[in-house]
Amino acid sequence: MHIFMQKLISPNAPGSGQLLALILSRQATTRPDIERVSGLSRATVAHRLDELLEIGLIDETAARQPSGGRPARILKLNESFAVTLAADIGESVTRVAVTDLGPRILAEQTVAIDVGSGPLPILGEIARCGRALLKRVGRKPSQVFGVGLSLPAPVDHEGGRVVGPSVMRQWDNFDIRGWLEKSLGIDALIDNDVNLMALSEHRRFYPNADHFFFVKAGTGIGSGIVTRGQVYRGGRGASGDIGHIQFDAPKAPLCRCGKLGCVEARAAGWAIARDLRTLGFEGQTARDVMALLDRGTPECIRRIREAGRVLGEVLADVVSILNPTTIVIGGTLSQAGEHLIAGTREMIYQRCLPLAIEGLAIHTARSDDRAGILGAAQLVIDAKLQPSAIGATVARVVG
């Protein structure tokens, strides 16, 4: 084993892996800051950083003079150290991409395939495209951290499988992770699309928000929780399923899950489209609803504002329980902007205690439709660069 690897995985804390964690989380990105936060001497910090610099895992910029301060060199991850393979399975298309460690997309391919085709045809396409894309960017399998997969279904993250009722019935309990690892010869991680959108939106735009809550309001409704930079999944990966919380409402509408009065049945894209059809408009999905909104249809505006208040009802409970500092609403319906979130804000401010809403920020999402695939890449990057894994990761890439 290379001398650096031995030190990287040395149990004497804080080692190079811990210093890397400080740099990645941006808690400390200069030598003086690392000395201060880690409590290590200048010589020890220099020695450990040299290890990371020599293997090419981090870069140090030329000294710059911050206004009024001493010149500082900034330490950051070398984003071209390795790559990830990422895939995002949607209901009718699957995207596959190779990313650097930014993550930024280096090459990508979109395949039109229905999620109802089942696991083998779709995973087969992902493996085939993945190999072709890695060839295109000229990376060897040893330089690939792993494959991350985003799925539009409840996912048992630990077990690497889809569980329970979803649009992916044939996938129930199929060993997705095992299949990908065997086929591609690299580690695989899977999660549901909302958790990964939450992770990507947080890391790119709100890295300092310690208690972050993301809502996907599209044809369906779901949410993801990122606390202190990590996705909070709960006991089995089912946390954040706000779409099927039920409220007693007069004439509670039937949900597609079979229960009455779910948040989805009152505020999701499919439910708004259902109500608009009774008024003579056409449409089935959140996209159809947005098309009506773009034409300035008053009935559509009114129905979206109502949906915003329903979201606000459930988010008021979320705020009372979790006390997030930032709530971001994404998904297709969030393109309605203030039409949607004005009502959401109103309900949260009306129902929550002053301390819970002090400093609470509520925004619409800034990510585009690549949030799922970038989140899948981030999942792999985080797993491979954590202090307990970094020794094995470097040994594999550097050899």
Where helices occur in the chain by DSSP H, the ranges are 3-8, 16-24, 31-38, 42-54, 119-137, 176-184, 193-205, 263-267, 269-278, 286-294, 298-322, 338-351, 354-357, 371-385, 390-398
**Residues 153, 158, 161: CA angle, nearest 5 degrees:** 40
Decide whether 146 or 220 has the Cβ nearer to Zn ion: 220
Instruction: Tell me the closest approach of the beta carbon of residue 332 to Zn ion, in angstroms.
Output: 19
**Euclidean distance between CA atoms 186 and 144, whole angstroms:** 7
Decide whether 130 or 240 has the Cβ nearer to Zn ion: 240
Instruction: Tell me the closest approach of the beta carbon of residue 28 to Zn ion, in angstroms.
Output: 45
Decide whether 247 or 281 has the Cβ nearer to Zn ion: 247
Give 395: exposed, middle or buried? Use CB within 10 Å, 0-12, 13-18, 19+: middle
Residue bearing tokens 């300092």: 208
Decide whether 221 or 290 has the Cβ nearer to Zn ion: 221
Instruction: Tell me the closest approach of the beta carbon of residue 149 to Zn ion, in angstroms.
Output: 25
**Euclidean distance between CA atoms 343 and 325, whole angstroms:** 19
Structure tokens at 150: 């985003």
Instruction: Tell me the closest approach of the beta carbon of residue 254 to Zn ion, in angstroms.
Output: 9
Q: Is 255 in the site for Zn ion (CB under 5 A)?
A: yes
**Euclidean distance between CA atoms 90 and 234, whole angstroms:** 24
Decide whether 186 or 221 has the Cβ nearer to Zn ion: 221
Q: Is 167 in the site for Zn ion (CB under 5 A)?
A: no
Instruction: Tell me the closest approach of the beta carbon of residue 315 to Zn ion, in angstroms.
Output: 17
Q: Please work out the total of residues on this chain that contact Zn ion, with binding judged by CB under 5 A.
A: 5
Instruction: Tell me the closest approach of the beta carbon of residue 234 to Zn ion, in angstroms.
Output: 18
Task: Please select the residue that binds Zn ion; options are 21, 252, 257, 291, rule is CB under 5 A.
Answer: 257
Residue 178, classed as helix, strand or coil, is helix
Stretch that binds Zn ion, among 94-102, 150-158, 168-176, 249-257 (CB under 5 A): 249-257
Decide whether 252 or 301 has the Cβ nearer to Zn ion: 252
Instruction: Tell me the closest approach of the beta carbon of residue 162 to Zn ion, in angstroms.
Output: 18
Task: Please select the residue that binds Zn ion; options are 176, 215, 262, 371, rule is CB under 5 A.
Answer: 262
Q: Which residues ranging from 215 to 244 are in contact with Zn ion (CB under 5 A)?
A: 244
Decide whether 49 or 262 has the Cβ nearer to Zn ion: 262
Residue 361: strand pairing partners: 326
Residue 1, classed as helix, strand or coil, is coil
Q: Is 314 in the site for Zn ion (CB under 5 A)?
A: no
Cα 43 to the center of its chain, rounded Å = 38
Q: List residues near Zn ion by CB under 5 A.
A: 244, 255, 257, 259, 262
